[in-house]
């Protein structure tokens, strides 16, 4: 079975290594996974050629996830919510199924460190990475989900496109609905949230200063430029978990910030990378791989 990851650039991708390790766990000798550079204006053609040559599925990375979303003929609910596809699979009837496993990979990695049910979550950022995380996070039934972003209009768009429809359709009784809010970073240094909905008494839960968060997820790209998030240290609860979707050999700016704030459990996004791959591998092969040894070897090689 032939699989691949498409991106541009793609040379840096660790996906072939990850999938080869998964395939070895189950002894799938016919499993092949390559990295393929698609031209910036030729992603659709490249995927069609790959499928015509016998490709059974592929991963999609920067900058093609939105294009893959448009290319897919059938979409999973989480891909629809994300507005982006990172996993394509050729179905029995030849149609192209599009999924997004990034958020599930994040949640699986988070759950290795902390349960999310009943917890107060703060999602920093409102770009594609944040959008992809929302449905899998909500499915864990947190008590509170605040989306904070530099540009509040983008946070509001995420709320309106993904969170509000989920709140309206979930069928959970009001007392089990997560309190949901949208804010600028101003809230994190003592301002008030801009909008609050959901939950039994949302305004009481979030409409005051000094709310603390059990899990803080950085989905912004601020760490790339070495910029800190303007956030008061006491926004982290006493035993909070700080999670940065970014990763690298050195500590990310956000995790350094969390360390300075006294946060003991700080996790970078390498486990999310392995987690999204595990979800894709499971979708394609029906085998759920063990992420821990693969994560350990990737960590050692950073």
Question: Restricting to residues 25-64, which ones interact with ligand ATR according to CB under 6 A?
Answer: none
**Cβ nearer to ligand ATR, comparing 244 with 285:** 244
Q: Does 207 bind ligand ATR (CB under 6 A)?
A: no
CB of 149 to ligand ATR, least distance (A): 5
Helix (H) or strand (E) holding 153: helix 152-158
CB of 150 to ligand ATR, least distance (A): 3
**Cβ nearer to ligand ATR, comparing 168 with 224:** 224
- Binding test (CB under 6 A) with ligand ATR, winner from 7, 103, 105, 125: 125
Question: Restricting to residues 138-167, which ones interact with ligand ATR according to CB under 6 A?
Answer: 149-151, 154
Q: Does 274 bind ligand ATR (CB under 6 A)?
A: no
3-state secondary structure the chain: CEEEEEECCCCCCCHHHHHHHHHHHHCCCCCEEEEEECCCCCHHHHHHHHHHCCEEEEEECCCCHHHHHHHCCEECHHHHHHCCCCEEEECCCCCEEEECCHHHHHHHHHHCCCCCCCCEEEEECCCHHHHHHHHHHHHCCCCEEEEECCCHHHHHHHHHHHHHHHHHHCCCCHHHCCEEEEECHHHHHCCCCCEEECCCCHHHHHCCCCCCEEEEEECCCHHHHCCCCCCCHHHEEEEEEEEECCCCCCCCHHHHHHHHCCCCEEECCHHHHHHHHHHHHHHHHCCCCCHHHHHHHHHHCC
Q: Which residue is nearest to ligand ATR (CB)?
A: 127
CB of 2 to ligand ATR, least distance (A): 28
- Binding test (CB under 6 A) with ligand ATR, winner from 47, 82, 85, 126: 126
CA 195 to chain centre: 23
Nearest by Cα to 121 from 232, 194, 230, 206: 206
Angle between helices 270-285 and 291-300 (to 10 degrees): 140
Q: Does 128 bind ligand ATR (CB under 6 A)?
A: yes
3-class state of residue 272 by DSSP: helix
Span from 18-26, 122-130, 265-273, 294-302 in contact with ligand ATR (CB under 6 A): 122-130
Q: Does 16 bind ligand ATR (CB under 6 A)?
A: no
- Binding test (CB under 6 A) with ligand ATR, winner from 127, 139, 161, 170: 127
CB of 155 to ligand ATR, least distance (A): 8
- Binding test (CB under 6 A) with ligand ATR, winner from 46, 129, 196, 258: 129
Question: Restricting to residues 58-77, which ones interact with ligand ATR according to CB under 6 A?
Answer: none
Question: Catalytic pick from 14, 35, 65, 119?
Answer: 65
**Cβ nearer to ligand ATR, comparing 33 with 243:** 243
Binding mask 213-232 for ligand ATR (x = CB under 6 A): ------xxxx--x-x-----
65 labelled catalytic? yes
Q: Which residues are catalytic?
A: 65
Residues that bind ligand ATR (CB under 6 A): 125-130, 149-151, 154, 219-222, 225, 227
């Amino acid at each position: 079975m032939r699989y691949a990851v498409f991106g541009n650039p793609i040379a840096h991708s660790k996906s072939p290594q990850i999938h080869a390790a998964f395939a070895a766990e189950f002894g799938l000798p016919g499993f092949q996974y390559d990295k393929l550079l698609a031209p910036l204006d030729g992603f659709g053609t490249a995927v069609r050629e790959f499928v015509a040559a016998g490709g059974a599925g592929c991963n999609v990375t920067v900058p093609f996830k939105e294009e893959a979303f448009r290319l897919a003929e059938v979409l999973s609910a989480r891909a629809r919510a994300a507005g982006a596809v990172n996993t394509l699979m050729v179905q029995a009837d030849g149609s192209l199924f599009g999924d997004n496993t990034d958020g599930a990979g994040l949640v699986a990695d988070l759950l290795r460190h902390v349960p999310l049910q009943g917890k107060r979550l703060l999602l920093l950022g409102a770009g594609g990475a944040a959008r992809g995380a929302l449905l899998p996070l909500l499915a864990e039934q947190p008590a509170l989900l605040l989306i904070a972003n530099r540009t509040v209009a983008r946070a509001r768009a995420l709320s309106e496109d993904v969170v509000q429809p989920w709140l309206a359709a979930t069928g959970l009784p009001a007392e089990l609905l997560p309190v949901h809010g949208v804010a600028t970073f101003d809230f994190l240094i003592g301002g008030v949230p801009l909008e609050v909905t959901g939950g039994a008494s949302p305004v009481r839960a979030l409409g005051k200063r000094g709310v603390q968060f059990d899990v803080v997820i950085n989905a912004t790209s601020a760490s790339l430029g070495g910029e800190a998030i303007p956030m008061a240290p006491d926004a982290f609860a006493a035993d909070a978990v700080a999670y940065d979707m970014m990763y690298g050999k050195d500590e990310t700016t956000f995790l350094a910030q969390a360390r300075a704030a006294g946060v003991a459990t700080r996790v970078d996004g390498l486990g999310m990378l392995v987690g999204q791959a595990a979800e894709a591998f499971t979708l394609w092969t029906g085998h759920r791989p063990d992420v821990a040894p693969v994560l350990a070897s990737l960590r050692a090689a950073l």
